[in-house]
Structure formats: structure tokens, C-alpha cells
Amino acid sequence: MDLRKIAIDNDNNDAIKSFKSRFVNNLNEIYLDGNSLGKLPKKTQDDLDVLIKKQWGNELISSWNNHWLELHNEINSKMSNLINSNNKEVLVGESTSVNLYKIIYALLESNKYEKNLVTDSMNFPSDLYILDSLKNLTNNKLITILKYNSNKCCDIDLLKKSFKDNPGIYCLSLVTYKSSYLYPMKELNEVAEKTGSIIVWDCSHAIGVTEIDVKRSETKVALGCTYKFLNGGPGSPSFLYVSSEILKIINNPIKGWFGHKNPFDFDKNYIPAENINKFKAGTPQILSLLPVRNGLDLALEAGISSIRKKSVDLSNYLIDLIDKELTEFDVVIASPKDSSFRGSHITIQHDEAWKICKILIKGNKNRKKIIPDFRPENNIRLGFSPLYISFIDLYETVITIKDILKNKEYLKIDNSKPNVT
């Protein structure tokens, strides 16, 4: 089996390969960190230039009426289309952490659910920090963290048992940040509903690359960042989805200006806006919001089903490559092999993982720079955005890692780390 030829054939038959040309690309680089920060769409550069020089520079405050208020509504509508909700249930703004805090607080105060906060050990650390900051509002003044026998996959039976034995408010990452495990969203939502629980889904590593249909999956609350697979730029705001059913029973704990029903009445009495708009707080972050529009446009144009199909094909091919080329060098695949339980990154483990990353990122005159990322203790994440990653990119990456291991290049590398890995 000639895996290089398979890569070339797959690239030739790729239905969405043309989208790569719409990003800023470095021909001497393979970028496998779209699961952390997506690439820059070319159109975003032009649009930001117009916003800064024309709208802000020349039109100044009139741009709120002429451009910016409608921009926010437009982005909310596009996000709604991506996840199959209605416009009154989706808001793009604030960070994932801020939105998670607001929604967990609101659910605890609603008294609809038992005041138990539950998550699992595969959730992203910052989600755990937010839950910990709210534990004093719970019945037992603590959060429950489920632990599984495997760091790769969720124990579905254990999780279902927890819903029954300890109903309450659950927070889970739809795709986990380390192993790329993809939870069965609809199945778990149904169990949660039957046991009087609710799941708040963090979709940060899933949005823009997996098919999220909040209606079909009976999801009640979801949120997540837009700077990974949606290519919204560093620090771009997150989205928040709350079903109409839940919106009726909760309130925003932050009574901010734009969360008011009529903010420009400057009423001293706070009257919350209707539907999801009551979860607005301060002034919309226009400079950060604009790039999200282009990221959403690209995802909607390519079609999330086409993006997901290519993601699965890429990851299946990568697993075959790793099995054939790297297992003899003690490389272990730390992601599910079943694509129905896997997101759009593959994690591999090796005792010299960080040093391998340093060599890949540096590159040399005979070798492209290859940019993955590292997660403790010994994980290399290979993230592939189907809009700009090719099969030959993955082939070249694995062959490069093989050369590094075969020649033991890591022995010449120190173990120092920068702040961001």
C-alpha cells in the first residue's frame, strides 16, 4: 500500500480543496494547530482594513447605526444557521469562560435542576476553574469530577449512571482537548432529560468541524470559542446557544448595558431584553467580531457535512500512516480509532514529545516547518482543519517525525519551553 500515492489521489479528489487558497499560507510550512488557533482568511485582512480606516477612521460613531449593530445581528444569524437553531437562541460575544460562568450561574439560580455541578476529568481545565468558582452555590459546596479508567474515551455507562444517581447540571466538552474524543451528544442529552439533568456543552474543539445540530440532538445549552476551526482570530468571541425553553426560566447574572431591553433609553431601572439578547452584557467587541463573520461564511459555503467528511478521511488516513510508520519508534495513538467518536485532531504520545515538537516547529533548509502543539505530559496534537490541510501535508508530517525518531535528533535538544506550547 503506497500511502504517498493515496495522499496524492485523495487530494486530487478533494471536493473542498479550493478553500485553501482563501487563507494566508506559508508554502514552507505545514500548520497542524488549527485546533488551537485557525489560520487567517484573506478576506478578513481586507475587511478589517475597511473597518479600521473607513468605518472607525472616517465615519466614527455613526458606524454603530450604519454598520456595527447590524454586523452583530448578521453574525448571530450565521452562527444560528451553522448549528440549526433560530436567531432568538444564539449570541456571539464574550469569551467562552465568561459565557460558561453566566449560564452555569443562571441555571443554578433557576431552581429547575438539582444544585449539583458535575463534569469529568477529560474536560478542559478552564471549564473546571469556572465550575470551581461557583461551587458555593451548590448543595454540597463542591463539584463532582468523574474519572474514567481511560484518558482516551469516556465511560458512557458510568456517565449515564451518574445522571441517575447524581442529577444536576453537567458540563462536558463535546470534543475533548487531549484525546479528541467526541461524545454522543444526542444520546447523552436524552439520558440527561430523563433523569432531570441538563448538559452544558463546551463545543470549542468541535464547532466548525463537526456537525452540531442543536435541534436534532435535543441540546439545551451549548457554547464555545470561534478562533479554532472557525478561524475567527486570536481571542475572537465565543458563541452561546440557549434553547427557548431554557431561556424562559433563567436570567443573566450580569445586568449589562446591552442586555437592557432599550439600552439607549438610559433608564435607571433595568429591564432585561427578550430571548437570548438578555445574555448580552457590555458593548459588542466589533474588532474581534468582524473576523468571525468570514470564518462562518467559509464554513457555511463549504458545508459542514463536507468539512466533517474530509476531517474523518484525513484522520483515518493519518492513523493508518502512524500505524505503519511510527509504532516501531514507540509512538502511541492516544485518540479513539473509531471516527464516530473522534474530532478533528489526533494525539500521539512519545517520551520525547516536547523535543520532537521543538524540532518540527523549527524546521531547517531541507525540511518544512511543521507546527503541531504539545500538551503535558507527553502529548503531541496534530490538528487538521479540512479547509486548508491536505493529505500530503499529513504524509510529509509523519515521514518527518519518523526521520527525527530514526536519527534520534531529540538527543541534541534541550527541554526548555516558551510560555505558549
Tell whether the model's pLDDT for residue 217 goes beyond 90. Answer: yes
- 13 located within any domain: yes
Question: Does 421 reside within a domain?
Answer: no
The pLDDT confidence band at residue 1, using thresholds 50, 70 and 90, is: confident
Q: Give the model's pLDDT for residue 415.
A: 86
| Same domain flag for 53 and 155 | yes
Domain count, the chain: 2
Q: Which structural domain range is residue 158 located in?
A: 45-301
Judged against a pLDDT cut of 90, whether residue 419 lies above it is answered with no
Residues 251 and 394 grouped into a single domain: no
Does the pLDDT at position 420 exceed 90? no
- Which sign does the torsion angle of CA 384, 387, 388, 389 carry? positive
For residues 119 and 104, what is the distance between their CA atoms, to the nearest angstrom?
A: 12
Which position has the higher pLDDT, 415 or 290?
290
Q: What is the Cα–Cα distance from 279 to 277, expressed in whole angstroms?
A: 5
Handedness of CA 50, 53, 57, 58 (dihedral sign): negative
310 with 282, same domain? no
Say yes or no to pLDDT of 417 above 90: no
3-state helix/strand/coil string of 390-407: CHHHHHHHHHHHHHHHHC
Q: pLDDT tens for residues 142-168?
A: 999 999 998 899 999 999 999 999 999
Contact 179, 335 (CB under 8 A): yes
Same domain as 350, residue 225? no
pLDDT band at 379 (very low <50, low <70, confident <90, very high): very high
Q: What rounded mean pLDDT belongs to the chain?
A: 96
In this structure, are 296 and 320 located in the same domain? no
- Backbone φ and ψ for 328, nearest 5 degrees, come out as -65, -15
Per residue in 66-125, pLDDT (tens digit) is 999 999 999 999 999 999 999 999 999 999 999 999 999 999 999 999 999 999 999 999
Q: Which helix (H) or strand (E) holds 375?
A: strand 373-375
Is the pLDDT at 266 greater than 80, yes or no? yes
Same domain, residue pair 146 and 229:
yes
Q: Indicate whether 108 and 206 sit together in one domain.
A: yes
- Residue where a domain terminates, one of 301, 331, 365: 301
pLDDT at 129 over 80: yes
Q: Supply the pLDDT for residue 370.
A: 98
**What CATH number should be reported for the domain holding residue 342?**
3.90.1150.10
Residues 73 and 203 in one domain: yes
CA distance 338 to 334: 12
Contacts of 274 (CB under 8 A, 6+ apart): 88, 261
Q: Are residues 292 and 329 part of one domain?
A: no
Same domain, 16 and 68: no
What tens digit of pLDDT does each residue of 247-262 get? Answer: 999 999 999 999 999 9
pLDDT at 265: 94
b/e code 35-65 from CB counts within 10 Å (16+ = b): bbbbbbbebbeeebeebeeebbeeeeeebbe
Do 310 and 272 lie in a common domain? no
User: Which pTM was predicted?
Assistant: 0.96
